[in-house]
Structure 1
């Protein structure tokens, strides 16, 4: 298998989402929550190989700032350019939607150990320039 057999589509369903999470050792999420998250995403991408979802990525945004989330590639298909193809398809869509003379930013919080992957896609580690450390709060109920 190589990147040529991969098709990127602008869709993702709840089962594909949870199956991909399971394939990389992440827990499944409540289908109601997943459905709402997909619906509220600005950009949704999935990688298809032989009619099967082998990767996904989402971006949440408002036209100026975006958050890249859920970049997942099935463990069996990692290191084959699929993740980069997914991330680049999101970057390209955001570029296409950015008004000439303006700019958009894409932020993310990398899974530990994946920083080099995102750097290979053009992201810079924070802090740099006027940016401070990235921050996060987890709300549980």
Structure 2
């Protein structure tokens, strides 16, 4: 049975899961900054082992889903879907009547259909152009 813990994600959880999905490692300083700026997070545990995570950053008008990752042995069991659903529910719970906001993400290559199945739209669309990004590295 999986346990979904809200707002308990920590640096060690992130490191373990990032390593398990073969993502680039980040410094503890970067990870702490990321956690400090997170408005909502989920870590999923199988007993005491962290197996999945997701973070949400935002200001009430714009939200960005970040770091959604599920260890390979646990994929295709609905864990990622539940993480996204919890994030959507969090955002909805912080809107007042007649308010709206934008919930955004950058899908990993090949994962677009997963997010489309949860209600996200590919860009560009009738309202928005292509999404863009820039990587900045201090020398």
TM-score (norm 2): 0.95
Q: Distance in 2 between matches of 1:82 and 1:15?
A: 20
Aligned: 1:79 with 2:56: no
Q: Distance in 2 between matches of 1:28 and 1:130?
A: 35
Aligned: 1:33 with 2:30: yes
Aligned: 1:43 with 2:33: no
Does structure 1 conserve the Cα–Cα contact (< 8 Å) formed by 2:3 and 2:47? Answer: no
Name structure 1 gaps, 5 residues minimum.
none
Following superposition, the deviation at residue 47 of structure 1 comes to 1.0
Aligned: 1:15 with 2:12: yes
Q: Please give the per-residue CA displacement for 1:97-141, whole angstroms capped at 9, x wherever unaligned.
A: 111111121011111000011111111101112200000000011
Name structure 2 gaps, 5 residues minimum.
none
Aligned: 1:138 with 2:135: yes
Q: For this pair of structures, how many residues does the alignment match?
A: 137
TM-score (norm 1): 0.94
Q: Displaced runs of 4+ in structure 1, greater than 2 A?
A: none
